């Protein structure tokens, strides 16, 4: 899509939210919303911390409510620097309850001006498109036995 200049925003799972991929998409002026592993390093006030350690310090009073469809979640968002990622990124941290101790998901994006509900709607496309395509291919086209990652597969 990047090579053919097809306009779109990318949704990524945590495997593809790597430093190299995020830098490549940003350099190609492409938007992305991706899962962020909780152990990823971010730079905050000149110190390097795990994203999960940073998120644990966010008090419930600073979390905001967001509704997408019938689902209610609580979020906090901030522009930060991820170690190795060239431009600043925006983190969106989600909890299933306002007072939950641990977040359920962290998302990363280079779309710094998007509101939380828009980030979640874009990220949801991953589940309504890509993941359903894989499921259908495995169930209906008998591709479940073709999950090899080597040349033989």
Q: Is residue 4 part of a domain?
A: no
pLDDT of residue 141: 57
Q: Is residue 147 part of a domain?
A: no
Q: Does the predicted TM-score (pTM) go above 0.85?
A: no
Nearest to 65 by CA among 22, 21, 97: 97
Q: Is residue 130 part of a domain?
A: yes
DSSP string, 70-133: TEEEEEEEEEEEETT-SS-EEEEEEESSTT-SS-SEEEEES-TT--HHHHHHHHHHIIIIIHHH
pLDDT of residue 135: 57
Q: Is residue 110 part of a domain?
A: yes
Q: Is residue 112 part of a domain?
A: yes
Instruction: Give the CATH number of the domain where residue 69 resides.
Output: 3.90.350.10
Q: What is the pLDDT of residues 46-81, one digit of tens each?
A: 889 999 999 999 999 999 999 878 889 999 999 999
Which parts of the chain register pLDDT below 70? Answer: 1-8, 126-153
Torsion angles phi and psi, residue 41, rounded to 5? -90, 135
Torsion angles phi and psi, residue 60, rounded to 5? -55, -30
């Amino acid at each position: 899509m990047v090579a053919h200049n097809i306009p779109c925003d990318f949704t990524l799972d945590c495997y593809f939210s790597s430093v190299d991929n995020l830098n490549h998409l940003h350099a190609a002026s492409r938007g992305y919303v991706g899962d962020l592993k909780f152990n990823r390093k971010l730079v905050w006030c000149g110190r390097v911390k795990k994203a999960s350690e940073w998120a644990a310090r966010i008090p419930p009073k600073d979390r905001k409510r967001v509704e997408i469809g019938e689902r209610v979640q609580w979020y906090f968002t901030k522009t930060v620097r991820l170690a190795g990622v060239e431009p600043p990124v925006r983190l969106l941290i989600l909890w299933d309850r306002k007072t939950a101790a641990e977040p359920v998901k962290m998302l990363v994006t280079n779309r710094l001006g998007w509101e939380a509900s828009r980030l979640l709607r874009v990220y949801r496309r991953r589940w309504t498109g890509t993941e359903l395509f894989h499921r259908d291919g495995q169930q209906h086209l008998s591709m479940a036995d073709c999950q090899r990652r080597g040349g033989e597969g």
